[in-house]
Amino acid sequence: MNDPFCGDEAPASPEERAEAELLRDALETGGDAGGGSGVATARLLQAVSETAPLGEVAARRLRRDLVAEVGRRSRSAFVWAALSAAAAVALAAALVFGRARQAPAPALLAAREAEAREAVARAGARSRVAQAGGDISSITLVALSRTRTDETFSTLDSERLSRRFAQALSGAGLEARPFEGNPATTPTPGGHS
Amino acid sequence: MDGDDDERLLERIRKGDAESFGVLYDRTWRWLLSFVIVPRVGGRDAEDVLSETYRTALSRIGSYEWRGVGLLHWLSSIARRKALERVRQGGREDGRRGDPPDLAALPDGAPSAEAEMIRLEALRELKGRVAATLTALPPRYAEALRLRLLEGRERAECAALLTVSPATFDVVLHRATKAFEKAWGTPR
């Protein structure tokens, strides 16, 4: 192709050709490409151009994507909030009911203590009989009876401790309430729950 | 319309109103593109930078502290940063030239609802000045600038219309930008 340079359009020097290629690269690939102020002028003209770099279709697509993303984030936040609230309720319920389960009524403790004393008395009597008689079945029966008595006392100690703990909580303004249907609030034969 | 409008818009977005974020986008994307992003990265990467700008804004909007300045100022600062990141990522930054200014300055406290009105006014003035500058150039230079940069035609097509080789068109366009810069007067 013939290049009709005319007037002041003299042939380009190697330096000028190099700068022209930098400007070409900047326009082809984006960015500055080291093109200096020629690039700044090109960007100014592109910015005021009628041909917007982002068409209306692309702009609407980006808008739709962004709005959908806000919606997703919002829903995620809602689910997290709901889960957190449910977890808080479950934790509170566990604390309240758990504490109530550890605090048997004073009347129940007194009844169990009386039963335990009777059991101790019975075990003592059997022990004396077994030592006098000496047969193996009586000795085994006495051993079993003692084990059961020890368990009863152990349970009583544990419940007494729980009750003191509940009283301490009460003193701190955290009242422990008995739990309806809790087996610990219902006297059971033999003092076992 | 006043600055409180932006504050209310911000509140609705924070409460998860997705459409309010769409409203903010509608009010601001043209400004960001014309006056902040394209002057820095050109048209090719503009869409990516615009998308990154809004996604960054979305991720930070929960911690954004309202100071009555207007959301467009905040979005513009994000867009400037994203555009410069894009230029640096490509290793295409010209060390001789720092961060160029925005093509138009937004008045302090201008709400985002007024952005498009201000943009159109600023664009009208810029176009008038560009047209006046082009008339002062040799017709061949003005034509090269108009075809390649204002009309966005491909390099080969521009060369064909000017009946030169693409390599010669590169030189003509380079000379045209220099001539435009001289005629424009004040440094940008």
**CA–CA gap between residue A174 and residue B68 (Å, rounded):** 47
Most confident of A48-52, A128-132, B37-41: B37-41
Calculate mean pLDDT across residues B137-147.
95
What pLDDT sits at residue B42?
84
Confidence of residue A4 (pLDDT cuts 50, 70, 90): very low
pLDDT > 90 in chain A, percent: 7
- Residue range A98-116: average pLDDT? 71
Contact A19 B174 (CB under 8 A): yes
Distance CA B170, CA B166 (A): 6
State the pLDDT at residue A12: 86
Task: Please tell me which residue, B80 or A116, carries the higher pLDDT value.
Answer: B80
In chain B, residues 129-148 whose CB comes closer than 8 Å to chain A? 130, 138, 140, 145, 148
Average pLDDT of span A20-41? 76
Chain A residues whose beta carbon lies within 8 Å of the beta carbon of residue B152: 46, 49, 51
CB within 8 Å: B150 and A49 = yes
Q: Residue A178 above 50 pLDDT?
A: no
Contact A36 B126 (CB under 8 A): no
Per-residue pLDDT for B161 more than 90?
A: yes
Residue A93 CB partners (closer than 8 Å, separation 6+): none
Work out the pLDDT band at A180, boundaries 50, 70, 90.
very low
Gap from A56 CA to chain B (nearest CA, Å): 10
Q: Is B153 on the interface with A (CB under 8 A)?
A: no
CA A30, CA B42: separation in Å to the nearest integer? Answer: 6
3-state secondary structure of A36: coil
Q: Which band of pLDDT confidence, cut at 50, 70 and 90, is reported for residue A108?
A: confident
A171 compared with A179, residue with greater pLDDT: A171
Q: With 90 as the cut, is the pLDDT of residue A117 above it?
A: no
* Structure tokens, B93: 């930054």
**A49: pLDDT strictly greater than 50:** yes
Confidence of residue A119 (pLDDT cuts 50, 70, 90): confident
Instruction: Read off the pLDDT of residues B104-125 as tens digits, 9 standing for 90 and up.
Output: 888 877 888 888 999 999 999 9
For the segment A32-53, the average pLDDT, to the nearest whole number, is 75
A119 vs B99, more confident: A119
Best CA proximity match to A102, nearest among A173, A155, A172, A171 = A155
Closest CB to A48 among B41, B96, B123: B123
For residues A56-84, average pLDDT:
81
CA distances from A128 to A125, A134, A153 (A): 5, 10, 21
Contacts for B107 with CB less than 8 Å, ≥ 6 apart: B118
Mean pLDDT of B50-72: 91
| Dist. CA A83–CA A76, nearest whole Å | 11
Q: Find tokens 């957190």 and name the residue.
A: A84
ipTM of the complex: 0.81
List chain A residues with CB under 8 Å of B163: 1-2, 4
Average pLDDT score, chain B: 88
Q: Quick check: B174 and A20 CB within 8 A?
A: yes
**What pLDDT does B87 receive?**
82
Q: B18-31 vs B71-89: helix axis angle to the nearest 10?
A: 70
Contact of B41 with chain A, judged by CB distance below 8 Å, is answered with yes
Chain A residues in contact with B29 by the CB 8 A cut-off are: 54, 59, 62-63
Distance CA A128, CA A186 (A): 34
Question: Best of B171, B181, B184, B188 to disrupt the A interface by mutation (most A CBs within 10 Å)?
Answer: B171
- Angstrom distance (rounded) from CA B172 to CA B149: 13
Spatial distance between the Cα atoms of B88 and B97, rounded to a whole number of angstroms: 13
Computed over every residue of chain A, the mean pLDDT equals 69
Chain A interface includes B170 (CB < 8 A): yes
pLDDT band at residue A122 under the 50/70/90 scheme = confident
Residues of chain A with Cβ-Cβ distance to B51 below 8 Å are 62, 65
d(CA B143, CA A45): 13
User: With bands split at pLDDT 50, 70 and 90, how would you rate the model's confidence at B3?
Assistant: low
Place of tokens 């521009």: B158
- CB-CB under 8 Å, A24 with B170: yes
- Residues found in chain B: 188
Question: What does B29-91 look like in DSSP terms, one character per residue?
Answer: HHHIIIIIIHHHHTTTTHHHHHHHHHHHHHHHTTTPPP-SS-HHHHHHHHHHHHHHHHHHHTT
In this prediction, residue A115 has a pLDDT band, given cuts at 50, 70 and 90, of confident
Q: How far apart are CA B185 and CA A185, in angstroms?
A: 95
Least confident of A24-38, A107-121, B169-183: A24-38
Chain B residues with CB under 8 Å of A70 CB are 13, 16-18, 21, 58
If you measure CA to CA, which chain A residue comes closest to B171?
Answer: A20
Token pair of A72 as six digits: 């997703």
Measured distance CA(B143)–CA(B53) in Å, rounded = 34
